[in-house]
Amino acid sequence: MTATTAEDSREDRKRRVRGTAAVRHPDRKGRSPIFDAPTPHGLFFRYLALIIVLLISIGPMLWELSTSLKSKAEDVYTQNIQLLPHHPTLGNYGEVQNTIPVWHFALNSLTVAVINVTGNVIGATLAGYVLARLKFKGRKLLLGVFVATLILPAEVTIISKFQMITSMGLGNSILGVCLPDMIAMTNVLLMRNAFMALPREVEEAAIIDGANVLQRMRYVGLPSVKGVLSVISIFAFIGAWDDFLWPLLVLQSPDKLTLTVGLSYLNGQWSHDPRTIAAGTMMALLPILALFLILQRYFFRGVAQGAIKG
C-alpha cells in the first residue's frame, strides 16, 4: 500500500510538472513555422521584411537628401540612379536662404506648433477627464458626437472652418491657423481612454480624503498618463509643422507664411533646379526627425503605458 501511494504521488508530481510546463510554454500550433521559429531561415525572413519596410519608408527621404547635396555639375535627371553625390556641397542650402526668408518662416511654423501643442495638452486633458470620470446628462451623446467627427475627412469641413475663422476676424493671422486644431478629437479620445484605465478605487480614496475634481485630475490622473501626453504632444507638433493646405488658405501676407507654405516659392523660381527644392524640403524635415529622435522613448513608452504600475 505504501509503495502504491508513493508511486501515485510521483505520478501526480509528474502531471503537475507537465501542466506547469504547458502553461509556461503554450502550444505554438497555428503559428508560422518560418517567421516565428528562431531558426536561420526565420531570422532571414524577419530581417528581409524589416529591410523592405525600411527602404519604402526612408528611401524617398534619402533620395531628397542626396539630391540636396549634389552640385550643379551632376545630372539629377539621369536614369542611372546614384544615391551618393560625386561632389557633395552645401551650396543648395545657401541658395534656399538667399531666395526666401526661411528662418522667419520656420519661426512662424514653430509658433503655430507650440500653440497647438499647448492647446491640445490642456484641452484634451480636461475634455478627456470629463468624459472619463464625471457623470452628467448627455455624456454618451457627446462622446458619440466626438467619435462621429472622426469619420469626416478634413476636406469636408475646411470650408466651414474658413468661414468661421473669417467671421471671427482671424483671417490672415497666426491665431486663425492655430485655432481649429488646438483641440483635436483624436487626442480627446486618447486621453479619455487613458483616464478610463485608472482604477476607480484610487479616485474614490481621493474623494474620501476631500479632493475636488481638479485635485483628483492633477494628483491622481495626470501622473498616470504622462506617456499619453507625450504622444499627444508629438502628434500635435508634427501635424502643425507639416500642415500645408490650411495655412495656405488662411494666410495671405508673405511675412506670416509658415515654412511649408513658404517653401512653395522655391518651386516657382527654381523649378528648373530640383537641388534647391530638395534642400528646402530637407530643411523642413530635419527638425521633425530631430524631435522624434529625442522623444522617441517617451513616444513608445506612452503607446505601451499602463494606467497603474505596481
Q: Which of 158, 171, 145, 156 is nearest to 252 (CA)?
A: 171
87 φ/ψ sector (left φ>0, alpha ψ -120 to 50, else beta): beta
Per-residue burial over 137-152, b if 16 or more Cβ lie within 10 Å, else e, is eeeeeeeeebeeeeee
Angstrom distance (rounded) from CA 290 to CA 138: 43
Whole-prediction pTM:
0.75
Domain 94-303 bears CATH identifier 1.10.3720.10? yes
Average pLDDT for consecutive 10-residue bins of the chain (310 residues)? 50 52 45 59 83 86 86 76 81 86 91 93 90 83 82 83 90 90 87 84 81 82 82 88 90 89 74 80 84 74 50
Which residue in this structure is represented by grid cell 508530481? 13
Grid-cell match 451623446, residue found: 141
For residue 267, what is its C-alpha cell?
518651386
DSSP string, 203-257: HHHHHHTT--HHHHIIIIIGGG-HHHHHHHHHHHHHHHHH--HHHHHH--SGGG-
The identity of residue 208, as a single letter, is: I
Report which of 209, 231, 204 is spatially closest to residue 117, judged by C-alpha positions: 231
What are the sequence ranges of the domains in the chain?
A: 32-89, 94-303
Q: Report d(CA 192, CA 234) in Å as an integer.
A: 18
Return the pLDDT at 71.
83
Phi-psi region of 84 (alpha: psi -120 to 50; beta: other; left: phi over 0): beta
Cβ-contact 298, 227 below 8 angstroms: yes
Cα 273 from Cα 267, distance rounded (Å): 9
- CA dist 211 and 83 (Å) reads 61
Cβ atoms 237, 291 nearer than 8 A: yes
Residue 196: CB atoms within 10 Å: 13
